[in-house]
Every structure is written in structure tokens, then in C-alpha cells.
């Protein structure tokens, strides 16, 4: 049986998980592939460091360059994280014509265009299934399963930390800060948690999916990104009364009339009747609409040692089969086929909106608000002023018809300056999945 020798760069949570998974299921994979996957080197920063997964000392090295350059190594697996040294690792392997498997979403988001160009130039392949949505094989779906489709819509719950927080806030009526503290204690959120709760992790992932789906590399600076810090228990309660659940969504929408693609991350009201509203806890889901296949859904664990290791093993299997068949790029990692691709600025995007205002409980308040919206030609579909709220200000909930982000921003700016408005308005987009 032919043997493929691996150099794993990084022996932490993910690297250790992949090593452990290979020990557990390596023989099974070999029987299915007709190829044995053998770990030849594991490059780490400190070979003396105690590790949760025991890796034989004879495999460990602190010299990643030597591990990559080892003539016996056929395949490089980058699992170290970060974007600086990791970029050097991937480029060094590709320049030697060696295929690379990576789970590094931040690296691909920041340097994907350069890395894919290097893979093409040097005739090597770059595999990155584990970079998005953990154990969900969404990269393979877009690269292979839906290759005959134009992707018109893609919605992703791709950050387990935010989904865990929002799920518990809804199901338990819990406070954001208390749930965040629990998430950090359980290891679902980092300290500090900014990358997750401010939407940046989701933006890395949704940018990769948007690029793959639409054939041009999406600059991460062009992705509108909004996290969940401003979502309150009141918003979740009122959304529930209206028949919605609040989720942090990655949104990719093709707008043919504007020859552009919207790529955004923001909290959104999702109808309770939609399947994404029922994705709870740390689970991820990606909802994809193709012009031929229609609507499809992919669901599973989006993070964690085992889910990520499973995705890496999938890439290792593909890489081994490519080597076995004597090709270096059976399925190209990324094909730029939309030379004039454009990301739609959020200012031009049209949405429905949920608006929560704290207003003075005085006659004529709603009329003043409606007058500003009317002058902006923005329609209201419903208005709710919940009973049981007393004091100097009370909540007022507006559901807004389709409007551009620019029009809404101008209207909200004018409304916020009204003397009857107490505090900053809360605005959350509403997705109808039409």
C-alpha cells in the first residue's frame, strides 16, 4: 500500500486532535483510500511542553522549515493558527510543490488571494475544508457538489459562541454578560471575546464562502461586520412576540440588477418558521440556494477539536487521492471566474428592519416619528407599544418595510434628535429568505 507522509505544523488543540484522530481511524481511512497516512514530523514551538494529546518525542521538532523541506514529506498540514508565521509556512510548502491542508480561516481571509495564486503558480493544491464551519463539509459542497449551480443566496450561522449566547438568552431569558461569562468558563468564548461577539470570526468565514461561491476574492475590508453586543433581552423578547428569533447571520446575496454581491455579517430577525431559527447552542448551519438545486441546508458542529479534526481528515483523504492519481489539482482550490466581481456596499443594500425606540409616553410621539419616515418614503408594516411599561420612557417597536441602509440611517438620525426619544435607537435587520 502506498504511503503519504505528513508534516503537521502545530501541535496544539487542533494539531493534537488531528494526530489523535489519525491514530484512532488511520487504518479505516487506509482501507477506504488504498493509501496509508503516516505522520512523519510534528513541528511545535516548544518540544518540551506538556500536551493534552501525547505525541511521540521522536516526531517532534521546533524547526518547521526542516519539517516542510524533508524530502520524505509529501503533504503539509498547517494547524498553528495566526497569520504571520502561518503564511510563511503555507507559501514555503506551495513553492516546493507540496500540497497544503489548512484550518486557518484568518489566514485565508487576510491572504487567500496570494495563497491561491501561489498554489496555481507552483502546481500544488490548497485544501481548506476545516477553515469554515468545523465538521460541516461546506467547502466541498461549494467546490464540488454545487459546481453546476449559480449561488443566489447563502446564509450562515457560522460562529458557535454567538449562537450559544443568543440561544440561551432566548430560551432562558438570561442576561448577555452572564451568558458570555459562562461561555468563557466552558471554553466556547475566548478572553477577550471580541473576535467572536463583534462578528470578525464570522466575517472571516463568510468572506471565504462568498469568494468561493461567486468567483472573485472578497476583500475582508469590504465586508460589513456587526456583532451582538447591542442585542438585549428586550429585543429577543419582542422579536419572539413578533414571531422571530435573533441570530448572528453571515449573508451573501447576489444582486444581478446591480451586478454585485452583498457580503455582510449582522444580527438579524429570522422567522420562527425558518429552519435557521431552530439552530441552537454551539451548532452551525449554512443555508445555500442554487439556481438549479434550489434550497439546501448543512448543519453540524462548527468548532471544537473533533469537528475540526474531522474536516482536516476529509482534506487529507482528498489530498491522498490526488497524489495517488498523479494529479496536483484535481479540483482547483479557487477559480477566479468573475473578473469584474463587486461587493455591494451596505449603503445600497435593501432590507426590512426591526426598530426599538425608548420614547416619552406623550400624545403625538408616534405621529412625529411617522412623519420623518413618511418624508423618507419608508413604510411601517406594524407598530407595537407593549403594555406594562411605566416611567419617563417606554419601548416602541416598529417593523419597517424594505428600505435602503442609507435611507434608514438618515431617518434614524433625524428620529434620534427628537426630544421625545430617550437614548439611541436599536435597529436590527429582518431576513425573509425570499
Question: What is the CATH classification number for the domain harbouring 43?
Answer: 3.40.50.720
Label residue 328 by pLDDT band (50, 70, 90): low
Same domain? For 282 and 143 the reply is yes
Q: Flag whether 232 is in a domain.
A: yes
Q: Flag whether 19 is in a domain.
A: yes
Instruction: Say whether pLDDT at 340 is over 80.
Output: no
Instruction: Say whether pLDDT at 86 is over 80.
Output: yes
Mean pLDDT value of segment 292-313: 94
- DSSP string covering 355-367: EEEEEE--TTHHH
Same domain? For 295 and 368 the reply is no
Same domain? For 159 and 268 the reply is yes
Residues 261, 255 contacting (CB under 8 angstroms): yes
- The region of weakest confidence among 34-43, 244-253, 300-309, 409-418 is 300-309
Label residue 333 by pLDDT band (50, 70, 90): confident
Q: Flag whether 377 is in a domain.
A: yes
Q: Flag whether 339 is in a domain.
A: no
Same domain? For 158 and 284 the reply is yes
Same domain? For 270 and 405 the reply is no
Give 66-85 pLDDT, tens digit per residue. Answer: 999 999 999 999 999 999 99
3-state secondary structure of 77: strand
Residue in 395, 345, 91 with CA at minimum distance from that of residue 238:
395
Residues 296, 288 contacting (CB under 8 angstroms): yes
Residue in 229, 247, 223 with CA at minimum distance from that of residue 159:
247
Give 258-288 pLDDT, tens digit per residue. Answer: 889 999 999 999 999 999 999 999 999 999 9
Same domain? For 154 and 294 the reply is yes
Which position among 98, 105, 170, 205 bears the catalytic label? 205
Write the DSSP symbol of residue 84. Answer: S
Mean pLDDT computed over every residue of the chain: 94
Instruction: Say whether pLDDT at 389 is over 70.
Output: no
Strand positions, DSSP E, 2-99: 2-9, 35-43, 60-61, 75-78
Label residue 308 by pLDDT band (50, 70, 90): very high
Same domain? For 361 and 425 the reply is yes
Same domain? For 125 and 148 the reply is no
Same domain? For 144 and 290 the reply is yes
Residues spanned by the domain of 231 = 139-301
205 in active site = yes
Q: How many domains does the chain have?
A: 3
Q: Flag whether 217 is in a domain.
A: yes
Same domain? For 143 and 291 the reply is yes
Q: Flag whether 86 is in a domain.
A: yes
Q: Flag whether 319 is in a domain.
A: yes
Same domain? For 411 and 422 the reply is yes
**pLDDT of the residue at 338:** 73
* CATH code assigned at 295: 3.30.360.10
Q: Flag whether 340 is in a domain.
A: no
Q: Which helix (H) or strand (E) holds 368?
A: helix 365-375
Mean pLDDT value of segment 201-217: 95
3-state secondary structure of 434: coil
| CA separation for the pair 313, 6 (Å, rounded) | 12
Same domain? For 215 and 104 the reply is no
| CA separation for the pair 384, 388 (Å, rounded) | 13
3-state secondary structure 263-327: EEEEEEEEECCCHHHHCCCCEEEEEEEECCCEEEEEEEECCCHHHHHHHHHHHHHHHHHHHHHCC
* CATH code assigned at 380: 3.30.70.260
Give 120-149 pLDDT, tens digit per residue. Answer: 999 999 999 999 999 999 999 999 999 999
Label residue 339 by pLDDT band (50, 70, 90): confident
Q: Which helix (H) or strand (E) holds 180?
A: helix 176-185
Amino acid at each position: 500500500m502506498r504511503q503519504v507522509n505528513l508534516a503537521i505544523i502545530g501541535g496544539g488543540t487542533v494539531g493534537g486532535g488531528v494526530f489523535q484522530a489519525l491514530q484512532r481511524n488511520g487504518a479505516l481511512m487506509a482501507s477506504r483510500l488504498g493509501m496509508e497516512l503516516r505522520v512523519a514530523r510534528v513541528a511545535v514551538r516548544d518540544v518540551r511542553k506538556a500536551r493534552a494529546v501525547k505525541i511521540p518525542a521522536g516526531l517532534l521538532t521546533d524547526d518547521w522549515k526542516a519539517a516542510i523541506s524533508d524530502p520524505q514529506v509529501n503533504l503539509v498540514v498547517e494547524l498553528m493558527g495566526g497569520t504571520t508565521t502561518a503564511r510563511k509556512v503555507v507559501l514555503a510548502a506551495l513553492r516546493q510543490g507540496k500540497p497544503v491542508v489548512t484550518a486557518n480561516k484568518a489566514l485565508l481571509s487576510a491572504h487567500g488571494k496570494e495563497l491561491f495564486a501561489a498554489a496555481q503558480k507552483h502546481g500544488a493544491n490548497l485544501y481548506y475544508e476545516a477553515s469554515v464551519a468545523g465538521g460541516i463539509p461546506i467547502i466541498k459542497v461549494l467546490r464540488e457538489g454545487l459546481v453546476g449551480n449559480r449561488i443566489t443566496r447563502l446564509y450562515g450561522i457560522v460562529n458557535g459562541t454567538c449562537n450559544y449566547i443568543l440561544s440561551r438568552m432566548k430560551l432562558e431569558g438570561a442576561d448577555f454578560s452572564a451568558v458570555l461569562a459562562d461561555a468563557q468558563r466552558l471554553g466556547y468564548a475566548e478572553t477577550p471575546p471580541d473576535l467572536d461577539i463583534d462578528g470578525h470570526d464570522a466575517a472571516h468565514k463568510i468572506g471565504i464562502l462568498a469568494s468561493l461561491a461567486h468567483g472573485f476574492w472578497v476583500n475582508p475590508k469590504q465586508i460589513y461586520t456587526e456583532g451582538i453586543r447591542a442585542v438585549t433581552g428586550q429585543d429577543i423578547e419582542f422579536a419572539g412576540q413578533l414571531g422571530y428569533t435573533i441570530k448572528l447571520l453571515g449573508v451573501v446575496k447576489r444582486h444581478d440588477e446591480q451586478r454585485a454581491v452583498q457580503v455582510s455579517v449582522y444580527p438579524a430577525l429570522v422567522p420562527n418558521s425558518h429552519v435557521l431559527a431552530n439552530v441552537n447552542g454551539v451548532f452551525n448551519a449554512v443555508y445555500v440556494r442554487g439556481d438549479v438545486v434550489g434550497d439546501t441546508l448543512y448543519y453540524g458542529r462548527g468548532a471544537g477539536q473533533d469537528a475540526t479534526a474531522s474536516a482536516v481528515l476529509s482534506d487529507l483523504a482528498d489530498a491522498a487521492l490526488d497524489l495517488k492519481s498523479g494529479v496536483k489539482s484535481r479540483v482547483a482550490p479557487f477559480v477566479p471566474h468573475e473578473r469584474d466581481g463587486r461587493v455591494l456596499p451596505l449603503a445600497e443594500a435593501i432590507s426590512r428592519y426591526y426598530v426599538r425606540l425608548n420614547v416619552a409616553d406623550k400624545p403625538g410621539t408616534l405621529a412625529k416619528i411617522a412623519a420623518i419616515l413618511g418624508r423618507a418614503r419608508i413604510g411601517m408594516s406594524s407598530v407595537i407599544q407593549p403594555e406594562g411599561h411605566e416611567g419617563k420612557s417606554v419601548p416602541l417597536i416598529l417593523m419597517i418595510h424594505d428600505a435602503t441602509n442609507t435611507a434608514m440611517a438618515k431617518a434614524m438620525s433625524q428620529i434620534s434628535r427628537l426630544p421625545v426619544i430617550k437614548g439611541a435607537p436599536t435597529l436590527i435587520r429582518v431576513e425573509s429568505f425570499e
